[in-house]
Chains A and B, each alone.
Chain A
Amino acid sequence: MGDLKNRFGPGLSTIFLILVLFWLAVMVLAPNLMMIDYALRPNLPPAALGGPDDTYTLSNILYLAGEPTHRAIFFKTIWASGLVAAVTFAVCYPIAFWMAQRATTGQLAIALMLIIIPFFINEVLRTLAWFIILAYRGPLNAVLMNIGLIEAPIRWQGNGGVLAAMVYAYILFMLLPIYNAIESLEKAQIEAARDLGASRWRIHTRVVIPHAKAGIATGFVFTFMLAAGSYVAPALLGSPGSRWFTEIIYNWFFEGGDWNRGAAYALVLLVLCLAVVLVTLRLFRVNLTDVAK
């Protein structure tokens, strides 16, 4: 703090501190505390607020544990988000490796541009694009039927559609950190491994992936979190059988009219995401400073 004052004088440092404290206190901390407060209180009619029933209770969170449909959707959202991260990794790893180690400068510039362009386009529009492709009478079914792979149109909407659109939406969040990590690997290390007789598979599992583990962990964390917290892809591309946890939270707020329960569900989602972030970082021994770049 003394350093700040030394550098910018008392007036400016006070302004800076007020701005930052306003952000952290009013926009970050207070909303979260109020959400926790809501989550731990029962949903009461206005007349009963402050009355004997207005006490802290775990009932909203226990409700999630006891309601079989919601519980199933919660666990499904977790493993499906993990699956999205794993598929995104599989799709991205080879191209990240190629860009970082094999591509010429020109190829790299083109590849980076081509990959970044779709991500300047907003998530709702990207989901809309998949909505059109995957429509029952849409282009994908028409092409597959024309080449004779399928005889009748397939309903892609549901789990498959959500997976395709989410992987599509989060490619960049996986690709860039892995690319950055592999780029710092010396080519000589790969050559040395090859000269010593390592197979292609072994070079990747024993040299490249260990070197890139921080980047891979970052990619996983972001993709998982974005997938678990996504609303637009499941809402537009899902089917009644593929409901996402965020959709249930939304319903508590705007259809069920039980904000306390909605807050409890949102809190569970938040805790889940933070837990995944912290555990992954611990496992891969990555610093938070390396993640948010």
Chain B
Amino acid sequence: MRAERIFNAMFWLYLVVFAAYLFTPLIIMGAASFNESRFPTVIPWQGTTTEWFAAMWADAAMWQSLWTSVLVAVCVVVIVVPVGTAAALVLTSLHARARSFAYAVMVSPLLTPGVVIGISTLILWRQMGVGGGVFLIVLAQSTFIICYVMLMVMARLQRFDRTQEEAALGLGASRVMVFRRVTLPFLRPALVASAGLAVLQSIENYNTTLFVRGFETPLTVFIATKVRTGLTPAVNALALIIIVATVIGAIAYEVARRRRAA
């Protein structure tokens, strides 16, 4: 029994270390945005200040990059939600053999490294005279974000009772009407969730975006460039705001989901 107790103590220690590994980096990064030191750190603490938030707020380049990221994310959602839904519907109506082949093709962008998606998109469109920029960023990001939408819609479709569609048809609804009034409302939660996921995936993407960005500087590229060329706690202030916003968003989404489920 003593061995058991030692083992348990060691296990709880591991859990504590694991939690520390997960959160210390984020806490230190957030805390450093309140330190007066020019390089973001927490040791030594040179005095508490909010000047870095003001510096970040006044940075026109930051606003420009935020605008680029938001624009890209909106365009991505407009593309990926319809295409991903169509892909899920097409895939679920295929027969077993064709389905497993089509499935492999359709999830292949998820198994392709992000840099390769960016590179291949860049090369194809250069042939047609289109260079990197918002258009190619949207296209390259959509290539793999569509897969996430497709998988989420497919998961929801598995619980769909097809007799509902047949009942509507039997009651005289047209096929378009069945889709609009029966299938689509059923899929709604998955569509909303996948739109949210798409925004998150788009804004946080770096590997793919880097190759197709042309002269644009989306938020992630902006931050990475700052880290290399002159990191000040203003970047930490930005990071902290993004983190707080994402965490609040995630919690709000989860609360809404639970309320619906209950």
**Which residues of A are interface residues toward B (Cβ below 8 A)?**
1, 3-4, 7-9, 11-12, 15-17, 19-20, 22-24, 27-28, 30-32, 34-35, 38, 91, 94-95, 98, 114-118, 120-133, 135, 137-139, 142-143, 168, 171, 200, 221, 225-226, 228-232, 235-236, 246, 249-250, 253, 259, 262-263, 266, 269-270, 273-274, 277, 288-289, 291-293
Contact = CB atoms under 8 A, between A and B. Distances in A.
A8 to B, nearest CB: 5
Contacts of A289: 100, 103
A122 B11 contact: no
For chain A, what secondary structure do more than half of its interface residues adopt (helix, strand, loop), or is it mixed? Answer: helix
A226 to B, nearest CB: 8
B124 A34 contact: yes
Given A95-B15, A121-B246, A135-B39, 5 more contacts: A24-B105, A34-B123, A269-B115, A273-B112, A292-B151
Contacts of A259: 123, 126
B110 interface: yes
Contacts of B43: 138-139, 142-143
B82 interface: yes
A240 to B, nearest CB: 14
For chain B, what secondary structure do more than half of its interface residues adopt (helix, strand, loop), or is it mixed? Answer: helix
B207 A231 contact: yes
B86 A20 contact: yes
A228 B123 contact: no
Interface in B15-60: 15, 18-19, 21-26, 28-29, 32, 39-43
A257 B121 CA distance: 17
A85 B160 CA distance: 37
Contact of B120 (A35, A168, A226, A288): A35
A98 B8 CA distance: 11
A112 to B, nearest CB: 10
A131 B94 CA distance: 48
Nearest to B246: A120
B261 to A, nearest CB: 14
Interface in B197-212: 200, 203-204, 206-207, 210-211
Interface of B: 7, 11, 14-15, 18-19, 21-26, 28-29, 32, 39-43, 82-83, 86-87, 89-90, 93-95, 100, 103-117, 119-124, 126-127, 139, 142-143, 146-147, 151, 165, 174-176, 178-179, 200, 203-204, 206-207, 210-211, 220, 223-224, 227-228, 231, 235-236, 239, 242-243, 246-247, 249-250
A4 B227 contact: no
A216 B89 CA distance: 30
B103 A232 contact: no
Contact of A229 (B29, B82, B109, B115): B115
Contacts of B7: 200
B107 A16 contact: no
Given A16-B89, A30-B124, A124 B41 contact: no
A23 B39 CA distance: 45
B41 A135 contact: yes
Given A120-B200, A122-B242, A128-B223, A139 B41 contact: yes
Contacts of A225: 111, 113
